[in-house]
């Protein structure tokens, strides 16, 4: 079989200039993000459309992003914010208004809905500034890089999470992003992609997560089991110590991901969680699937995965690796259709398509 890669382009990406601290109206009502490509659990519960149908503005600072949110008629007025340039602490300030609830030093999507943030032009880099989604719904984040967000040291942002979601969040699609750190907790970093306190119907697709102690979690503690319905597909996890992801309760579907150098553990299904793990490629890694660091078991259904130089630890009271003989311990059905790529094709496909500034390329299903 031969694999080709198709392209999803932004509609009408203007090359308009923007003043340094204000967001400029680009067009109305056409949205620029490729919202039609939403996949996985983010298609459920009414779907995820972000700012489709609303006005489009361009922003080159974090303050301008906040101004765009605060300038809407209401907290639910659809908007697409095209971001170009580097967002940092110096240019990310709190803005007040009836349609927003923002803060300094973090991109705050709080108590709002119907928003798309998409990188355009030469790219969007959130440098040491995290994206915080709280009590919000119908959010799309696409084609951005978020790097080196810290919870300790200086400067700090978003509790150390590159993208963090908490408190009754619904329907979020994060697509073609690059999320990276420069170490683990001892260096001041936390998770790259965290969900907690009743966050549901989320898809992470075609993204790169790398160089972090913690890839991400679903549920902040063994008792935080109100999260779930999460899809991870066509992502590259590289040089991650653990939490790729950590699941506490709920259902998650991982398919066609490429995992490289999971140094301590990978998909950690625990506290009653159920993981559907299909056609992934695990390479040069340890304990890529199981229940780890707890005696509260989780479960998994496995199919079609490739294990390439994967090692396994011995089972123990708080250590239940799924291998070396991978077998399902539960069954999981998903409410959406999936065309799986062959697992042996995943490294090449993900290399070409995943991450920011890849032209929103996606697999067309051939190999």
**Residue numbers annotated as active site:** 243
- Does residue 60 sit in helix, strand or coil? coil
CA distance 354 to 363: 10
- The neighbour count for residue 1, using CB atoms within 10 Å, is 8
DSSP 328: -
Q: How far from chain centre, in Å, is Cα 237?
A: 11
DSSP 339: -
Count CB atoms within 10 A of the CB of residue 65: 30
Question: What is the sign of the dihedral through the CA atoms of 332, 254, 269 and 173?
Answer: negative
Residue 142: how many CB atoms within 10 A of its CB? Answer: 30
What does the buried/exposed string (b/e) look like for 173-190 if buried means 16 or more CB atoms within 10 Å of the residue's CB?
Answer: bbbbbbbbbeebeeebbb
In whole angstroms, give the CA distance from residue 71 to residue 215: 34
Spatial separation of the C-alpha atoms in residues 290 and 287, rounded to whole Å:
7
Report d(CA 309, CA 264) in Å as an integer. Answer: 14
d(CA 90, CA 244): 32
CA–CA separation, 270 and 280 (whole Å): 20
Q: Which two tokens stand for residue 216?
A: 């991400």
Side-chain half-sphere of 128: how many Cα atoms within 13 Å?
15
């Amino acid at each position: 079989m031969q694999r080709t890669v198709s392209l999803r382009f932004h509609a009408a990406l203007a090359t308009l200039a923007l003043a340094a601290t204000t967001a400029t109206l680009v067009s109305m009502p056409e949205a620029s993000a490729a919202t039609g490509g939403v996949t996985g659990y983010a298609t459920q519960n009414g779907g995820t459309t972000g700012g489709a149908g609303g006005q489009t503005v361009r922003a080159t600072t974090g303050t301008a992003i906040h101004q765009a949110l605060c300038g809407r008629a209401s907290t639910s007025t659809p908007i697409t914010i095209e971001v170009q340039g580097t967002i940092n602490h110096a240019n990310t300030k709190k803005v007040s208004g009836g349609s927003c609830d923002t803060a300094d030093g973090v991109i705050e999507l709080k108590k709002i809905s119907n928003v798309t943030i998409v990188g355009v032009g030469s790219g969007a880099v959130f440098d040491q500034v995290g994206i915080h989604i709280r009590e919000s719904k119908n959010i799309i984040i696409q084609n951005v890089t978020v790097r080196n967000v810290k919870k300790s040291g200086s400067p700090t942002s978003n509790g150390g999470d590159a993208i963090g979601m908490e408190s009754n969040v619904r329907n979020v699609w994060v697509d073609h992003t690059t999320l990276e750190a420069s170490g683990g907790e001892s260096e001041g970093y936390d998770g790259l992609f965290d969900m907690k306190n009743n966050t549901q119907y989320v898809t992470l697709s075609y993204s790169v997560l790398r160089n972090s102690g913690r890839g991400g979690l679903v549920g902040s503690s063994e008792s935080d089991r109100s999260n779930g319905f999460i899809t991870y597909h066509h992502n590259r996890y590289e040089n991650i110590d653990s939490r790729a992801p950590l699941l506490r309760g709920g259902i998650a579907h991982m398919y066609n991901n490429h995992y490289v150098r999971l140094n301590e553990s990978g998909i950690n299904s625990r506290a009653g969680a159920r993981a559907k793990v299909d056609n992934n490629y695990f390479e040069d890694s340890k304990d890529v699937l199981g229940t780890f660091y707890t005696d509260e078991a989780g479960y998994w259904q496995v199919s079609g995965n490739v294990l390439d130089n994967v090692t396994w630890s011995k089972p123990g009271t708080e250590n239940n690796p799924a291998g070396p003989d991978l077998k399902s311990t539960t069954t999981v059905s998903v409410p959406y259709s999936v065309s799986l790529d062959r697992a042996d094709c995943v490294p090449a496909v993900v290399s070409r398509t995943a991450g920011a500034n890849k032209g929103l390329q996606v697999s067309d299903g051939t190999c």
